[in-house]
Chains A and B, each alone.
Chain A
Amino acid sequence: MSAQEWKDRLAGTMPSDLAEECDLFEAQIELRKQGKIDERVFAETRLRRGAYGQRYDNGHRSDGQTLQRLEFPTDLTKGPDTEWDAPGMLRIKIPFGGFTPEQLEVMADLAEEYSDEILHVTTRQDIQLHFIHIDDTPTIMRRLAAVDITTREACGNSVRNVTACHLAGVCRTETFDVTPYADALMRFLLGHPDTGDFGRKFKPAFSGCAGEACGLVRMHDFGAVAKVQDGKRGFEIFVGGGLGTSPYQAKVLAEFCPEEELLPLVQAVSRVFGRLGEKTNRNRARIKFLVAKLGIEEFTRLVNEEREILPYDPRWTAFLDDIDRFTESPHNRPAHTPSADGGDELARWRATNVQAQRQEGFTVVEIALPLGDLTSWQARRLADVCREFVGDTMRFTVEQNIVLRWVRDGDLPALYEALAGIGLAAAGAGTILDVTTCPGTDTCKLGISSSRGLAAELRERLAATAYELDEAIRGLKIKVSGCFNSCGQHHVADIGFFGNSRKIGGHAVPHFQVVLGGMWQDNGGAFGLAIGSVPSKRIPEVVDRITTSFVTGRTGDESFQEYCARIGKKELAAMLITELKQVPTYEEDASYYSDWGDPREFSMGDYGVGECAGEVISRTDMDLSVAESTVFEASVALEDGDLVRADDRAYAAMLTAARGIVALRIPNPPPADDDMVAAFKAHFVDTELFFDRFAGGKFARSLFSRHADGPVSGPDAVRELVEESQLFLDAAHQCQIKVAAAAQQEVVA
């Protein structure tokens, strides 16, 4: 078999630890096939090696009308409800986004031989290959290991890819090059025993300066910003940031951490997180919840206490002796002459895709990849371009692009020509055209709406008018996520969207929540305002309205964030989306009932169970998220004076939240509202689980009264109900935490 032949062929070329990892995983695959490893254990095992599930791997797919069974050849599973033969995704970690032409060529081969000839760049500088068979993964891992790449801990409850600014080392605003530190931290934490007991994933990031966006440290679990104090290198350390359903800005853990203390500090953080982080309720298990629960002062105290008792490890400082290894120098080769004048296209490309390096005479060129994709054929030619023009330095960006550094200024026309020859010279990198998106419903089990479909549509429409766009909006960022989990990083976009759905006339309609005014600068310094959900098919109109209103309504040099803050959430919603929320009936216009790029009637029927960090995204979390949106709709309706709708939405929000809470005890809550409310009362109110320390059962009574007595009327009564629905939702979150804590105590007992 070719797996054995590849193993023999590559023997001696792989780092021994990576080779052992591949052997171990191959053995575990064999044991699973023999039924000697439980499917749950195997699931976590493969996740920790980057082998992730993919949509429809539970053997079901909606064809728009019915849920069809996909009859895979074997009954074997690779996890709960995850069929062995179903295609999966493999995530390849690229620390700090840095890679060589040789590594790119190997990834191109793998995409061609095991995937669909597409290399997909993620928002965390990884590469993802889709439609992979699990049987092929050990060979893929060996071929990667032979060029010093690992998929280890690319998924699962582990330390994920260490990201860093793609300009590190050549940036004009950086304090110093963070590359060696990102590399050292990655190597130090990979497989470290102190990271083995995390309840959830842990994402580190580095940035060379505080003001730019590239490192996005403020939205990471652990972030380090380069800083020099008294002539000494070190970092300002952030901890506890994250996106997802509950976005948190990271807190400052240390104003200045000297470089030799970086690794012991992250080790101490890992120990505290591993020891005190939530383990049972995985929806509250990211470090951001621990930091919020303890408070940053107490968390810092615990970390410092832990640091004091850490046994000395020579690796803490060994890397500092080898730091020059990462110093890059220009490629020594003769200058290039283009064969043709690039004309206007070259000028446009230069305006958006090229920026000066810190080193005089050299520039950084950003290659805009549509939806983060490039083909194997393009990848090989890009490797050639890299060798010819810059040597061996390329980096992926968190905006799903690739940068070439150390391009000689005089070579730009020739480089443009070379890139144009392989379809990689599109202008507009980093502009409103360059829409970032997660995989969404294309391949993700958790995707609700088609983020890639929407991104492709927006890209195409905006490209058609790209050169007529007002300067004020050309630089805005659009980012799209297929669900609330934020892989598209919509919270830090000027214009963000995340997928959800609404039931209208018995049919599901794909929608996107509109999030405005997030801040990309300052390392993702502020999150945007959610202003409401709009049918997916009307999102291009939303973008038109937003951009037009900004161009016509901004005052002076007002930024988009300032503009959004000045206008306010309610007015933005009224001005931009209220009218667009209307959905024609299915009979009037069925196109609203399918998603972008997918002619099937939209359905949540093939929505799967997430494997994010090896855990289940619970029904409760889903319902509470929907309830959040519904409460918001109630508050907007109230402000609009639509009391009937405000009453209806407030009640619906409480019902949805209650249903989510009931799911903590009854996996499939009763569909009828009466039965569900009765179950809620029996399991959570009579037992005093849904009780506030001070208010007692008051919040539950809001639901019971509205359910028993019907709609309320009059402005005061409706306002009170809307406020109560928000309190009910808060109480639901508290109840969820309480139930999880009780479960954890039971486990401990």
Chain B
Amino acid sequence: MRLQRVSVIAPFANPDVNPETFVATFHGWVRDKTLGGLPIDVARYNHVPEGPGTVLIGFEGDYAVETSTGVPALRYTLKRENQGSVAELVSLAVGRLQQAAAAIASETGEAVDLGTVTVRIADKLVAPNTEQGRELVQADAVAAVAATVGFNDPTVAIGTLDPRDPITIVVTAPGAVGAAV
């Protein structure tokens, strides 16, 4: 299966994190190739409310400190490495998110709360946000998040039922709160 965009998003423990302050962090990641892959540039969209925030544009995927869920959060989006099963793609994305969270914690001291992971799949053709589309991806996506982050018996919520929006699955492990990286 090829899914056009697979994103995973986890909030910062500190709700006052300002995405703009990560511009310098991300430029450093591009310069030092901190997380591997091919980082290309940093884009700033902090003037747009509840938007992509500060984005590290990469070839394989993008890292972002964003506010699309209404709170500051770390996000990783698979772009070119988008061929595989849902479980493989979500696991890959969550793994990259964990790596980035660890790097941010180490560089800035800000913790990412991996107790809530939102999976967002934007692909109108293969996985539209319909009952059928969600059925196709939900179970595998939830299982992949749980396995990668180490959740037991997670709570699952659907972020939006508007068929125009991407599939949005919020996976929460109450017991994992406080286990921030």
Contacts and interface: CB of A to CB of B under 8 A. Distances in A.
A131 interface: yes
A118 interface: yes
Nearest to A424: B49
Nearest to A63: B31
B140 interface: no
Contact of B59 (A64, A73, A109, A598): A73
B130 interface: no
Interface stretch (A265-273, A292-300, A372-380): A372-380
Contacts of B40: 56, 61, 70, 86-87
A371 interface: yes
Given A118-B45, A131-B57, A70 B4 contact: no
Interface size range on B against A:
35 or more
A598 B57 contact: no
B68 A63 contact: no
Interface in B118-159: 122-126
A2 B164 contact: no
A72 interface: yes
A130 B57 CA distance: 11
A18 interface: no
Contacts of A117: 51-52, 68
Interface in B1-42: 2, 4-5, 23-24, 27, 30-31, 38, 40-42
A33 interface: no
A375 B164 contact: no
Contact of B126 (A2, A56, A377): A2
A2 B4 contact: yes
A65 B27 CA distance: 12
Contact of A456 (B47, B49, B62): B47
B44 A380 contact: no
A68 B51 CA distance: 29
Interface in A440-471: 442-443, 452-453, 456, 459
Contacts of B68: 117, 375, 377
Nearest to B64: A116
B5 to A, nearest CB: 6
A423 B50 contact: yes
A19 B80 CA distance: 26
A105 B124 CA distance: 12
Given A2-B4, A112-B5, A442 B43 contact: yes
A1 interface: yes
A80 interface: no
A6 interface: yes
Contact of A61 (B41, B50, B59): B41
B124 to A, nearest CB: 6
B59 A423 contact: no
A63 B27 contact: yes
B55 interface: yes
Interface range on chain A: under 10, 10 to 19, 20 to 34, or 35 or more?
A: 35 or more
A63 B31 CA distance: 6
Contacts of B166: 112
A482 interface: no
B23 A598 contact: yes
A373 B47 contact: yes
B27 A600 contact: yes
Given A61-B41, A112-B166, A371 B51 contact: no
B52 A599 contact: no
A393 to B, nearest CB: 20
Contacts of B80: 133
Contacts of B27: 63-64, 598-600
A55 B57 CA distance: 12
Interface in A640-672: none
B48 interface: yes
B124 A109 contact: yes
Nearest to A9: B125
B110 interface: no
Contacts of A370: 47-48
A423 B49 contact: yes
A56 B4 contact: no
Nearest to B54: A597
Interface string A451-495: 011001001000000000000000000000000000000000000
Contacts of A113: 4-5, 122-124
A380 B48 CA distance: 15
B59 A72 contact: yes
Contacts of B2: 1-2
Nearest to B51: A375
Contacts of A598: 23, 27, 42
A505 B24 CA distance: 25
Contact of A55 (B41, B47, B122): B41
Contacts of B164: 105, 108-109, 380
B47 A71 contact: no
Contacts of B52: 116-118, 375
A130 B43 CA distance: 10
B54 to A, nearest CB: 10
B162 interface: yes
A371 B47 contact: yes
A114 interface: yes
A453 B122 CA distance: 29
A9 B125 CA distance: 9
A5 interface: yes
A377 B59 contact: no
A66 to B, nearest CB: 9
Nearest to B47: A370
A114 B4 CA distance: 7
Contacts of B126: 2, 5
A116 B77 CA distance: 10
Contacts of B125: 2, 5-6, 9
Indicate the member of A2, A71, A597 with the most B CB atoms within 10 Å: A2
21 contacts: A5-B126, A6-B125, A9-B125, A56-B40, A56-B41, A61-B30, A63-B27, A64-B27, A70-B40, A71-B38, A73-B38, A73-B59, A109-B164, A112-B5, A113-B124, A116-B43, A117-B68, A118-B48, A131-B43, A423-B48, A598-B23
Given A61-B41, A68-B31, A377-B165, 14 more contacts: A2-B123, A5-B125, A56-B41, A64-B31, A71-B38, A112-B166, A113-B5, A117-B52, A118-B48, A370-B47, A378-B48, A598-B23, A599-B27, A600-B27
| Nearest 9 CB-CB pairings of A with B | A423-B49, A63-B31, A370-B47, A113-B4, A599-B24, A375-B51, A112-B122, A113-B122, A380-B164
